[in-house]
Structure 1
Amino acid sequence: MEKLINDFIEYLHNEKNTSGNTEVSYQRDLKKMAAYFEKQGIAHADEVTESDLKAYVSEMHSADFASSTISRNIASIRALFHYLFKKGVVSEDPSENLRAPRIEKKMPEILTVQEVDRLLSQPNPHTGKGIRDKAMMELLYATGMRVSELLALKTEDVNLSFGYVICHDNGKERVIPIGNVSRDMLQKYMDEARDFFVKNQRESALFTNCSGKPMSRQGFWKVLKGYAESAGIHKDITPHTLRHSFAVHMLQNGADIKSVQEMLGHSDISSTQMYLGLDTVKMRDVYMKAHPRS
């Protein structure tokens, strides 16, 4: 079954343009499934029945897997068997009647405006590291972008004259306005601090680590955790917390849900509706009026 799984991942990569994270997630889920069936004496995909799949899902429930984890595994299984059915590897799709458990959507952890102010005042603005860290956190909160998008930014993606950044998300681009606080901090970083880290002039990553290589997710997570601690914030903060806080604070200050959806890059407005929803105005005007640090 391993070769079929690898073929499927290759198909996702080449034909569906899926992200690396999605591919890793699918591969991990499907390899676990294959290992389970191997223990049951089932080595080939065409031997797997609907009952077998339901037994596997039941096993995950018994092991107290989170509903979200089970749902993700079911999505991976359904995608694989749909692909195998289309390819003629299996004569019928045994996953067709698999149903994911209901997932209760919880409001994500957010910071208050005061907590954000405390957090963003922690970096030392007189050191290269402090300037870089503050620029990163200000930009994350100013735009609501995902941390992966923040770390993928190139220097050419930033237009400080007109106050926006170009965000790249799985082959798509979106333009996000930034307020004066973030723009001024980015300008300071570009003028005073970036060269402190970047020795190779061909390096195009906007933000790098102390070695001049692109900053990693783990590296930024540690930076954020350190400042949260020194700010006395005891919530479970992740880079995504600033994204959630951005959305809620924008909506609380009068931004309309459609504009926030565009800035967050949600393809489906239902993803944004967990935050709130109001009337419609032009995106930049909304941003400048509504963002607490514009």
Structure 2
Amino acid sequence: MIVGLHPPPSDPLLVHYYRSAFKTYLEQSGYSVSTQRMLPACIGEFLHYGRFTRLEEVSLPAILSFYEWLHIRPLKRGSGALSAMMISHYVYALKVFFHWQEQSGELLYNPMSGLRLRRVAGGNREPLSREEISALFSAAVSLKEQAMLHLFYSCGLRRSEAVRLKVSDVQVKYRLLYVRSGKGARRRVVPLTGAVAAALGAYLSQERPGGSGAFMLNQTGRPMSGNGYYLLLKEVVRRAGLHAEISPHYLRHSIATHLLGGGMDIENVREFLGHRCLESTQVYAKCNPDQLKDLWK
């Protein structure tokens, strides 16, 4: 049963304590500043909604009730309801929070463990086909644009990871790319094919000004920003004649799907993407049902 739109206040000390403690955990774990703000706010709203006096009172029905309530919760500013993307942020916050509580020994059981929530309408996006990926590379007229596509598609980087990528992180000779500060402060090594290594090396040696520092620079010689990457990709997308909604993350989504479709084990795809858990890989990639059956045996 869904609690009303404006439930009575919960214990304010409980809400404040866990918001503060969770923020400290996220900060110490290396999460971005925006994540340190957003996830504790989501957890605070959940605790307020459930009117809990102790964390042990949280149950699966309470989580499901909160999830359903998010679909009808009015916006705090303006009219309308929460977007599918925003609801997914709440779900992610709950997963991270209760995983932390279980791992730290504060909870004996993670109420989010094994929970499968229905997809929110509008949250699904078809990945790009291999033909569309080829069209993008054909439309990339500079070595810089080619390198940018390889970072997001061939290497599966997040936009924030591309922004932080240094020249020293790309070892062309050894065909390796080091992600030294991924999401949640997780590091990983991305193997490069000969063609990808050659393309990244060509940008470094022929188009990028010399010196160390950020791997990709903008037109003024400064490190490429997240918005700079987005605008560069948008121009390539325009030339290729594809739909304008394609973002760097869209390319990451597509390579995950293509790797699974090509027969790569889902655990290897998880490591390639830098995901903490397999559930995240399943969200971003269209998994072959037979692969999932084998995985969960």
User: What is the root-mean-square deviation in Å for CA atoms of aligned residues?
Assistant: 4.2
Distance change (3 Å), C-alpha of 1:268 and 1:137: same
Structure label with greater radius of gyration: 1
Gaps of 5+ in 1: 38-44, 87-95, 126-130, 280-294
Gaps of 5+ in 2: 1-11, 74-80, 105-110, 292-297
Partner of 1:176: 190
Tell whether the 8 Å contact from 1:205 to 1:214 is kept in structure 2 after alignment. Answer: yes
Three-state SS of the structure 1 residue aligned to 2:127 is coil
Partner of 2:222: 213
Residue 266 (1) aligns with residue 278 (2): no
Q: Give TM-score, length-normalised by structure 2.
A: 0.65
Superposed displacement of residue 223, structure 1: 1.5
Tell whether the 8 Å contact from 1:67 to 1:102 is kept in structure 2 after alignment. Answer: no
Partner of 1:12: 26
Partner of 1:224: 233
Work out the percentage of aligned pairs sharing the same amino acid: 25
Superposed displacement of residue 147, structure 1: 2.0
Superposed displacement of residue 275, structure 1: 2.7
Partner of 1:120: 137
1: CA distance between counterparts of 2:266 and 2:66? Answer: 40
Distance change (3 Å), C-alpha of 1:211 and 1:29: farther
Three-state SS of the structure 2 residue aligned to 1:121 is helix
Partner of 2:167: 155
Residue 132 (1) aligns with residue 144 (2): yes
Distance change (3 Å), C-alpha of 1:117 and 1:7: same
Superposed displacement of residue 159, structure 1: 1.0
1: CA distance between counterparts of 2:91 and 2:150? Answer: 38
Superposed displacement of residue 77, structure 1: 7.8
Which of these residues, 49, 62, 66, is aligned with residue 72 of structure 2? Answer: 62
User: Which letter does structure 2 place at the counterpart of 1:181?
Assistant: A
1: CA distance between counterparts of 2:66 and 2:277? Answer: 31
Partner of 2:8: none
User: Which letter does structure 1 place at the counterpart of 2:128?
Assistant: L
Three-state SS of the structure 2 residue aligned to 1:62 is coil
2: CA distance between counterparts of 1:77 and 1:245? Answer: 26
Distance change (3 Å), C-alpha of 1:74 and 1:224: closer
